[in-house]
Amino acid sequence: MEEIRMKLLGEKFPSMEVVTTHGIKRLPEDYAGKWFVLFSHPADFTPVCTTEFVEFARKANDFKELNTELIGLSVDQVFSHIKWVEWIKDNTNIAIPFPVIADDLGKVSNQLGMIHPGKGTNTVRAVFIVDDKGTIRLIMYYPQEVGRNVDEILRALKALQTADQYGVALPEKWPNNYLIKDHVIVPPSTNEASANERKEKIKSKEIEAFDWWFVHKPLK
């Protein structure tokens, strides 16, 4: 039996079969070669969750352009999910294109650490970004009373993929950082020789930097 505990960054997403509004799915196997964002919500037919679902739906194509699929989850039954998705379409004219996991027994939620007893018996607003190899890359937790910022989730996803592709780090609010704008951060020197080499390049203005340990550059 798998130990029930909070999942950690860098761990493999646990294999599981889930019931969704789009039928049975196997995670992470059905998304092999793709990234996915799994996000939980406390309950169907709640105002904050509805605003989040609408925005996730509106930005669904932006996620797809990044080879990423969206998956919702709550401890409600699939019948409730279906009726709520229908209500959203009927009342906001927004169709929900992604599957919603029905976790009425709480098995998935407990396995992923989405139920925090201090916040009640429903799932908190958890977000898991999982890469195309099934590895958990980012986790966010919001309380039930505070809605998420979908743009920030999208930004974080872009930053993760950029870091992987170019071997760089990304600053606060990238690509709109106060100090270095849309530049990316070059990994710091790991020995004296390379640090001294950077100092010389800074003096000759061959590279942009605040210091040898804080070097930045345009992405391309």
Q: Of 36, 25, 3, 6, whose CA–CA distance to 134 is shortest? A: 36
Active site residue 49: yes
- Residues 50, 192: Cα–Cα separation, whole Å: 54
Is 125 annotated in a binding site? The answer is: yes
Q: Of 158, 176, 178, whose CA–CA distance to 166 is shortest? A: 158
Phi, psi of 12 (to 5 degrees): -75, 140
- Residues 8, 143: Cα–Cα separation, whole Å: 19
Please give the distance of CA 207 from its chain centroid, rounded to a whole number. 33
- Residues 132, 128: Cα–Cα separation, whole Å: 13
Asked if residues 63 and 154 have their Cβ atoms less than 8 Å apart, the reply is yes
Residue of 49, 112, 124, 185 marked active site: 49
- Residues 45, 62: Cα–Cα separation, whole Å: 25
DSSP states along 31-51: GTTSEEEEEE-S-SS-HHHHH
Q: Is 82 helix (H, G, I), strand (E, B) or coil?
A: helix
Q: Give catalytic residue positions.
A: 49
Annotated binding site: 125
Annotated binding site for substrate: 125
